[in-house]
Amino acid sequence: MNGGNGIAIDVKGLTKSFGGREVVHDLSMQVKRGSIYGFLGPNGSGKTTTIRILCGLLTPDSGEGTCLGYDIRRDAEKIKRQVGYMTQRFSLYQDLSVRENLEFVARLYGLADARGAARDMIKRLGLSGREEQLAGELSGGWKQRLALGACTLPNPQLLLLDEPTAGVDPKARRDFWNEIHALAADGLTVLVSTHYMDEAERCHEIAYIAYGHLLTHGTVEQVIAKSALTTYTVTGEDLNELAAALTGKPGIDMVAPFGTSLHVSGRDVAALEAGIGPWRERSGLHWQKSSPSLEDVFIELMSRSRDNFQ
Amino acid sequence: MSALDHSAPAHEIRERFGFWKRSYAMLVKEFIQLRRDRVSFAMIVMLPVMQLMLFGYAINTTPRHLPSAVLLQEDSDLARSILKALENTAYFRFLYEVHDVDDFDNLLKSGKVLFGVEIPRGFERAVRRGDRPALLVAADATDPVAASSAIGSLGMVVQTALKHDLYIGDPPDMPFEIRAHARYNPAAASSLNIVPGLVGTILTMTMLIFTALSVTREVERGTMESLLSMPIRPVEVMFGKIVPYVLVGFVQAFLIIGIGVGLFGVPVLGNLFLLALLSTLFITTNLSIGYTISTLVQNQLQAMQMSMMFFLPSILLSGFMFPFAGMPAWAQYLGEALPLTHYLRIVRAIMLKGATMQNLRFDTLALAALMLLAMTIAVTRFRRTLD
């Protein structure tokens, strides 16, 4: 295998600006072969730009690194042969049928038997009987499945998926993730950007990126532990009133309602406990110290980064 | 839906003939897309047929049934014979026969007639004596094209008419003079000149627009992003997008020439194979230019506008609408830089004059040079990244 060191993506100091606005700032990351790496962050945080740099669609202003052992600046053509890139917007040909789209991709990559490869993929995707349907007429879930099929057709070593499950129903989303895990089990490396927390939790490793800065990375447990966030879960009556009272108080960094409970978090345990002190003993409220959820961590990171970078 | 079945064997990738395979992949894709696009498909056939009918029938520089008057100052058999011959050509329709100069002038002035013939007193006798008397022709020159064509055809018509007449045998010269100096000698029928010209014009327009939209359409539909992430080179994209339309252009050229020959009786004196060969060169040149436009602009609207920017001078400066030799030097230089100029010379020469490759070397080389120039610009301008 190329590189052979067990690292699929290894980049340092990537920077990219558009029209004077820095979209990616000094970004470094490493992705292990065969792992599923989740890329999280608010809209416009530079996720898509980073993915495009990795697959050679954009040239970084500065920074360097390798993708599958190939230099991202010099060997873009070689990288393209081994990488499957699924764009955020459906980018297969809407006026071509399922079969024609797959055959087109198979031919472009020089598969010896393009028709056979397309036929096999149609079977694998469960699209038998629909091969002559135009891609533009498929439902959202099927489109996304077809797009994934087109990406994996030339047997890539790395999949770059840019918000692949946006706007797809939960069942299709679950199937999609089962598929991604199956592909990773076969040795494929997958870098996937998403907004969904449940999807983030299904990744082997995650990175959080906001305003072009990579803020934290690691396994889900590591990211939560690194955040040093303390969270209390409150249940009881008049939670809206409580939320309004607590927001902005010293020591309390974040207040977020979760269904019938309220998450109150702070970076400094002592300050947090001092802050919530007056309400701890109030009747009708039940306080419980809990570990923060991934979402708590991300929202806290996001609000902090907004202060720092905007 | 369930997780994919992974039991299928992996398909092998072969690196040989990669260029041809990728170009072929692109070509097949373009063909399918063209076939699905019914409107464009209809345009391929409708555009040449419509243009040909309009130019061939509606727009005709050869006059038909020009309202005319005759000023008869003698009532001789020869005069009658000439008038009959003129009327038989169907160019003129004699509405008035007057004997007074003032009436004659008024008819022309009021626009009741566009054309007048004056047969002077003693005309027949003068002809018989061999004095070459003048047959006076007055034309309403506000429509110079119609007038001059009519005048141009007059001499020939009258002479032919007189040949059949008993009055003269087969004289080498006209037995009389036609006194109308605005002569340029157009071909007897304008469709002879227009049909070959239309081949070039229609091909320029359709070929240019088809490829000018091709790259921007991929960008606008979002398919360019995934196309660029795949291992295809700019030259391969270009070939894949140009080749299907070479066939389209061929169909159009075939249609126009076919209708021209069948309906308008345009001859093809030269070698059809040579015509096909050089037409292919011209088609490819236009496709390359359209493709170049596609790599220069941001969206489909700009592509259309830029195509028009190229198309207009092509029509005006190529010799399609106005005689090339009549243009000032700078305009002629501009014209030489347009493929249509060279193709018009080629197609007219082959169809109407039976020219051979030997006669057309310069124009062929010029077309090839323009094609290579356009292709070079296109390939270097094609952006391989989204930067």
CA-based nearest distance A295→chain B, Å? 28
Residues A59, A150, single domain; the answer is yes
Could you tell me the pLDDT band of residue B190, with boundaries at 50, 70 and 90?
low
Distance CA A83, CA A62 (A): 22
Domain boundary among A219, A247, A267: A219
Q: Would residue A303 count as lying in a domain?
A: no
The encoded tokens of residue B135 equal 């047959």
B25 touches chain A (CB under 8 A): yes
What pLDDT is stored for residue B2 in this prediction?
43
CB B146 within 8 A of CB B114: yes
Contact call for A178 and B3, based on CB within 8 A: yes
CA angle, corner A73, sides to A41 and A107, nearest 5? 90
Does A263 map to a domain? yes
- Give yes or no: residues A210 and A252 share one domain: no
What is the count of structural domains for chain A? 2
Q: How far is B308 from chain A (nearest CA, A)?
A: 27
Which whole number is the average pLDDT over B101-120?
78
Question: Does residue A75 sit in the same domain as residue A28?
Answer: yes
Question: Per-residue pLDDT averaged across A189-215, rounded?
Answer: 91
Instruction: Clarify whether residues A85 and A28 are in a common domain.
Output: yes
Among B230, B237, B385, the strongest candidate for a mutation testing the A interface, having the largest count of A CBs within 10 A, is B230
Contact in structure between A12 and A65 (CB atoms under 8 Å) = yes
A99: closest chain B residue by CA: B29
Cα separation of B263 and B138, whole Å? 33
Task: Say yes or no: A247 and A201 in one domain.
Answer: no
Residue B244: predicted pLDDT: 92
Q: Are residues A79 and A198 in the same domain?
A: yes
pLDDT band at residue B3 under the 50/70/90 scheme: very low
Same domain, A149 and A64: yes
Kindly tell me the number of DSSP H helices and DSSP E strands found in chain A.
Answer: 11, 14
Position A162 in a domain: yes
Separation of alpha carbons A185 and A306, rounded Å: 37
Residue B178: pLDDT above 80? no
Q: B380 near B374, Cβ under 8 Å?
A: no
Burial label, B133 (beta-carbon count in 10 A; 0-12, 13-18, 19+): buried
A191: closest CA among A48, A22, A42, A43? Answer: A48
Mean of per-residue pLDDT scores for chain B: 80
Contact check, Cβ <8 Å, B223/A91: yes
Alpha-carbon dihedral angle through residues B80, B82, B88, B92, given to the nearest 10 degrees: -100
Please give the Cα distance from A64 to A62 (Å, whole number): 7
**Which one of A55, A113, A186 has the shortest CB-CB distance to B6?**
A186
Is A14 found in the same domain as A62?
yes
Residues A205 and A190: their CA atoms lie apart, in Å, by 11
**Domains of chain B, each with CATH number or no CATH:** 22-57+190-381 (no CATH), 66-179 (3.40.1710.10)
Mean pLDDT within A231-257: 85
Last residue within a domain, chosen from A175, A199, A219: A219
CB contact under 8 A, A110 and B13: yes
Which whole number is the average pLDDT over B205-233?
90
A138 against B183, higher pLDDT: A138
CB contact under 8 A, B13 and A77: no
Residue percentage of chain A with pLDDT more than 90 = 50
Residue of chain A nearest B18, judged by CA positions: A110
| d(CA B42, nearest CA chain A) in Å | 17
Domain assignment present for A79: yes
Same domain, A285 and A186: no
> Does A302 map to a domain?
no
pTM of the model: 0.77
State whether B386 and A83 contact (CB < 8 Å): no
Give CA separation, A112 vs A70, B14, B231, B374, in Å: 25, 6, 15, 34
> Interior CA angle at A276 toward A270 and A282, to 5°?
140
| Domain of A254, in residue numbers | 230-291
B21: closest CA among B31, B10, B32, B13? B13
Cβ contact (<8 Å) for A112 and B32?
no
Same domain, A165 and A277: no
Query: Does residue A236 form part of some domain?
Result: yes
Is the residue at A23 inside a domain?
yes
The CATH code of the domain that includes A284 is: 3.30.70
ipTM summary value:
0.84
Tell me whether residue A114 is in a domain: no
CATH number for the domain that contains residue A176: 3.40.50.300
Optimal mutation site among B29, B30, B214, B233, interface A, most CBs of chain A within 10 A: B29
- Listed residue (A212, A213, A188, A215) closest to A204, CA to CA: A188
